[in-house]
Amino acid sequence: MPDVSILNVDLHGRTIGTLTRVAGDRVLFAFNEAYIADPERPTLGLFFKDQAGALRTDFPPVQTKLPPFFSNLLPEGPLRRYLADAAGVHSEREFFLLWALGRDLPGAVTVTPADGEAWPPEAMAPHGERHPPQSNMLRFSLAGVQLKFSAVAGARGGLTVPASGVGGDAIVKLPSSDFAGVPENEYSMMRLADLIGMDVPRVDLVDIDAIDGLPDGAGRFGGKAFVIERFDRLPGGGRAHIEDFAQVFGVYPDDKYRKAGMRSVARVIAAEGTDADIREFVRRLTFNTLIGNGDMHLKNWSLIYRDGRTASLAPAYDFVSTVAYIPGDRFALNYSRSKDFAAFDEDELSHLSVKASLPAKTVIDTARETAADFLGVWSREKHHLPMFANVRDAIDDLLSTLPIARS
């Protein structure tokens, strides 16, 4: 029985390194020589650059999990359990999960077994795996907690989840088992963001019954699903590379509410992005405060590498008003010193600007404009969008407490 297995890591279809699993369930990542030597190399992630901008090449082995960059490519909640179960892998054994799901991952990275498709015997032992992979298992991965699938537009404009799971260019998010009307909420918030001029992908709200290929049981409660066009999939089948800020900072998904705040996110955007990225960042910060979104953790902000090398802020996703579900909710991460929605004022923005080397005037002007634009669109649209009444009322209540909505 081999005690070493290897996964090739490809970026834009070219092998750039390997993940190696050695005895004791330890995993090592290494770049290959050709990638290291290439001065025009495409960027895998900012975590792999050192302070001087040079490629980091020395990474410690990790136990059972994958290194953080790769761990963050895997789902967290029910989708992880579902996919792991179909693959016959324990959901904590990330190397074998990636083995099964690596052809269709977030961004332009793909992962394939170096020694062919034969399922390694050590994947089945010794940590409680029960059965070999199911022949019809879905082989794709998306991050996040909510149950979701990657789908393609079908012949008559409908949506289909491909039988292999691979090749989708839209994300279908099913309703939450904890809160009512989340798809309607997310659709409404993304439409509002779009109406005030933010960078928002095409979104839709569809009948779950009209989606083909959902696994048995996934859509059994009916109702509507939220659909968003994928910005990491290009017309014609190409992929754009993306990474989220948990990947940027090298932290595991479990630490997405800790280990870094908006200050650190802002610092990266100030250093890597353009003025347009900084303004879009401030718009999102302001917008998500106004709608009372307490879930803008590190995995809900991403970078995109449109030319393969240069980072800019990826389009918006996962905007949900959470105050209706969690009264008294706060922003997921510190703005600069505080998480309270009501602490988001010009003083906090000045503090953030100084700490993150952002241009303070641009930041404050952008926040003011965003608030003014939002209030106009909100009063015009709030009775026309499909959000439930409790969401609308919770946002109205919150707005009356926010300094940024009064200035």
Check if 194 is active-site: no
When the beta carbons of 146 and 370 are compared against ligand ATP, the nearer one is 146
Binding to ligand ATP (CB under 6 A): which residues in 128-147? 142-146
Q: Which of 300, 321, 366, 370 touches ligand ATP (CB under 6 A)?
A: 300
- What is the closest distance, in whole angstroms, from the C-beta atom of residue 173 to ligand ATP in the complex? 6
Name the nearest CA neighbour of 356 among 243, 250, 265.
265
Under rule CB under 5 A, how many of the chain's residues touch Mg ion?
3
Which of 25, 244, 295, 329 is catalytic? The answer is 295
Which is closer to ligand ATP, CB of 38 or CB of 204? 204
Q: Of 26-34, 274-282, 294-302, 353-361, which segment contacts ligand ATP by CB under 6 A?
A: 294-302
Least Å distance between CB 6 and Mg ion? 31
Q: Does 277 bind Mg ion (CB under 5 A)?
A: no
Helix or strand run (H / E) with residue 5: strand 5-11
Q: Does residue 299 interact with ligand ATP by CB under 6 A?
A: yes
Q: Which does 284 bind (CB under 5 to 8 A by kind): ligand ATP, Mg ion, none?
A: none
Q: Which does 377 bind (CB under 5 to 8 A by kind): Mg ion, ligand ATP, none?
A: none
Q: Give yes or no for residue 243 binding ligand ATP (CB under 6 A).
A: no
Residue 232 near residue 239 (C-beta atoms within 8 A): yes
Q: Which parts of 296-325 interact with Mg ion (CB under 5 A)?
A: 300, 318
CB < 8 Å & 24+ apart, contacts of 358-365: 358/266, 358/270, 358/278, 358/282, 359/275, 359/278, 362/275, 362/278, 362/279, 362/282, 363/278, 363/282
Pick from ligand ATP, Mg ion, none: which does 171 bind, CB < 5 to 8 A by kind? ligand ATP
Three-state secondary structure call for residue 228: strand
CB of 406 to ligand ATP, least distance (A): 30
Using the structure block, give the residue that is written with the tokens 């965003």.
Answer: 370
Spatial distance between the Cα atoms of 43 and 16, rounded to a whole number of angstroms: 10
If binding is defined by CB under 6 A, does position 45 make contact with ligand ATP?
Answer: no
Residue 232 binding ligand ATP, by CB under 6 A: yes
Task: Tell which positions 194-213 bind ligand ATP, by CB under 6 A.
Answer: 201
Phi, psi of 103 (to 5 degrees): -75, -20
CA distance 338 to 261: 10
- DSSP 8-state code for residue 325: T
- In angstroms, the CA 280 to CA 356 distance is 15
Per-position DSSP letters for 332-352, written without gaps between them: SS-SSS---GGG-SHHHHHHH
Burial 282-321 (b: 16+ CB within 10 A, else e): bbbbbbbbbbbbbbbbbbbbbbbbeeeeebbbbbbbbbbb
Stretch near ligand ATP under the rule CB under 6 A, chosen from 130-138, 191-199, 225-233, 286-294 = 225-233
Handedness of CA 339, 342, 343, 347 (dihedral sign): positive
Token couple for 323 = 């105050």
Quick note: the x/- pattern for Mg ion over 106-145, rule CB under 5 A, is --------------------------------------x-
Residues within the interface to ligand ATP (CB under 6 A) = 106, 142-146, 171, 201, 228-232, 244, 295, 299-300, 302, 317-318
Residues acting as catalytic residues: 295
